[in-house]
Structures are given as structure tokens and as C-alpha cells.
Amino acid sequence: MHLSEEIGARLQSERKRLNLNQEQFANIVGVSKRTLASYESGSREAGSVLLNLAASAGVDVLYVVTGQRLPVAERTLLIEELEMVAHVRGLGEEDRGAVKRLLRAFGNKIDGQ
């Protein structure tokens, strides 16, 4: 089984855990039922839709991607982190480098205190 198929199977599992049919889930996420079906079958990678899933439907995105469940109390932080990652991924190479340098600088400052 390929990674996209594994992610699709877990995405379907989360949809069922939330007690939603494909049409309901697709409407919440903002995609067509056909698109959702292609994510669940693994024929199309979910990619950035995972952020919408987490924010809109309460999906445990860590579980969908890795198969590992996150404690409920930590899911909100994960959503914020995923939003930051998505934003950084949308930046150009030069800007991503600047973000990395900034994070390293903050890391050194924290370690040096």
C-alpha cells in the first residue's frame, strides 16, 4: 500500500469516526464529494486540504498522516503548527531560508539563557 493510500484510508476512518458521510465531510472541508473520494482512495494526495480538515472538522491530522493519535488537549497546538508549516512551504526559497535563520537564532537565544 502506498503512502497516499494509507493516508486516504485513515482519512476515511476519521470521517467515519466523526459520523459523517462523504458529502457532508466534503462540504465541511470545502471540496467536492468526488475530490474527497479521490483523497480517500489514495488516487489523489490530500496535501493542503489537511489543514482545512483539522480546522473545519476536528480531524486528527497527525493520525491521518502518520497513524499516531494525538491527545485531544494537544490538537489545537498542532493545527497552529500545521498552519505555520503550510505558510512557510508557500514561501520562495530565499524567504524559507530567512525563516530558518530566524528560528535558529531564536533557538540559540533560548538555549543560551
pLDDT in tens, 23-78: 988 887 778 999 999 989 989 887 766 656 655 566 777 777 778 776 766 655 55
Q: Which three cell numbers, joined as nine digits, stand for 92?
A: 520562495
pLDDT in tens, 5-24: 888 898 899 889 888 899 98
Whole-prediction pTM: 0.53
Cα–Cα distance, 9 to 67 (Å, whole number): 10
Please tell me the distance from the alpha carbon of residue 111 to that of residue 90, in angstroms, as a whole number: 29
- Residue 12's pLDDT is 92
Over residues 67-106, the pLDDT tens digits come to 877 676 665 555 566 667 777 877 889 998 998 898 888 8
